[in-house]
Chain A
Amino acid sequence: MADIFRALDDETRRVILDELSARDGQTLFEICSVLAMRHGLSLTRQAISQHLAVLESADLVTSEKRGRSKYHYFNPEPLAEITGRWPVRKKTEP
């Protein structure tokens, strides 16, 4: 579980997940362009590649090679561990 929190403990990685959850299946180039143009985050391609590797090791991102290109997908399943362990209960009206 520690790796999920480590992966989420970074604003750039959270933005990457936001963008993948809005539109799944993006290449590294698309993720880099969107972070730079839409979020003003001008990181190097290598830095974003490393962020993706951290997200992949926590299983929050999966990747697939289709044709000659590699696409990245958001996998929210590990997040269920968090609410499974600490369920969100609805507040009961007094």
Chain B
Amino acid sequence: MKIALTSLFVDDQRAALAFYTDVLGFKKHHDIPLGEDYWLTVVPAESPDGPELLLEPAKHPAVKPYRDALAEDGIPLAQFEVEDIHSEYARLTSAGVVFTQPPVDVGTAVVAVFDDTCGNLIQLLEAKPNKHDDDGR
């Protein structure tokens, strides 16, 4: 079994597509009209054959209380890995993205959390090289 697709609820699918492509740098993959909504997925530019991210309409009444409670406590709903978190932080901040947590060293990784403007908090993670890799140098 492998993860082929995962989803996030978004307030407005067109606005979400703009944010995830123009600001974050994902590529649009599927954009299929389904009634009032769309089957709308994006993929990372560097791995277009990897797992898709579905930007799903947040219309269900359970979604708002769920996401609001998580946002209040700063809990992210997805994690994206980056190579250089400090340069991503600088790039996204200058693009107007609001971080609820700047890059923080948590020992095995450096993590930060930003607001995706679509109702979700997203964690960025830069993994640190495994300690064993540094041994014996």
The reply to whether chain A is a binding partner of chain B is yes
- Residue positions of A touching B, CB distance < 8 A: 23, 26-30, 33-34, 37-38, 45, 65, 67-71
- Contact across chains for B72 and A23 when beta carbons are under 8 A apart: no
Q: Does chain A have a CB within 8 A of B127?
A: no
**Within the assembled complex, what's the spacing in Å between the Cα atoms of A45 and B100?**
18
In the complex, what residues of B have CB within 8 A of residue A26's CB? Answer: 74, 101
Closest residue of B by beta carbon distance from A39: B107
- Residue positions of B touching A, CB distance < 8 A: 68, 71-76, 98, 100-101, 104, 106-108, 111, 113, 115, 121
**Within the assembled complex, what's the spacing in Å between the Cα atoms of A37 and B107?**
6
- Contact across chains for B108 and A37 when beta carbons are under 8 A apart: yes
Interface of B is mostly: mixed
- Contact across chains for B75 and A29 when beta carbons are under 8 A apart: yes
Asked if A29 meets B108 with Cβ closer than 8 Å, knowing A67-B98, A69-B72, A69-B74, the reply is: no
Q: A28-B73, A37-B108, A67-B115 are in contact. List 18 more A-B contacts (CB 8 A).
A: A27-B73, A27-B113, A29-B74, A29-B76, A29-B101, A29-B113, A33-B104, A33-B106, A34-B104, A37-B106, A45-B73, A67-B100, A68-B72, A68-B115, A69-B72, A69-B73, A70-B73, A70-B74
Asked if A68 meets B68 with Cβ closer than 8 Å, knowing A28-B74, A30-B74, A34-B106, the reply is: yes
Q: Nearest 6 A-B pairs (CB), nearest first?
A: A27-B74, A29-B74, A37-B106, A68-B71, A28-B73, A29-B75
Closest residue of A by beta carbon distance from B106: A37
**Within the assembled complex, what's the spacing in Å between the Cα atoms of A30 and B104?**
9
- Contact across chains for A65 and B72 when beta carbons are under 8 A apart: yes
**Within the assembled complex, what's the spacing in Å between the Cα atoms of A29 and B74?**
5
Interface CB pairs A-B, < 8 A, 15: A23-B104, A27-B73, A27-B113, A28-B73, A29-B75, A34-B106, A38-B106, A38-B107, A65-B72, A67-B100, A68-B71, A69-B71, A69-B72, A69-B121, A70-B73
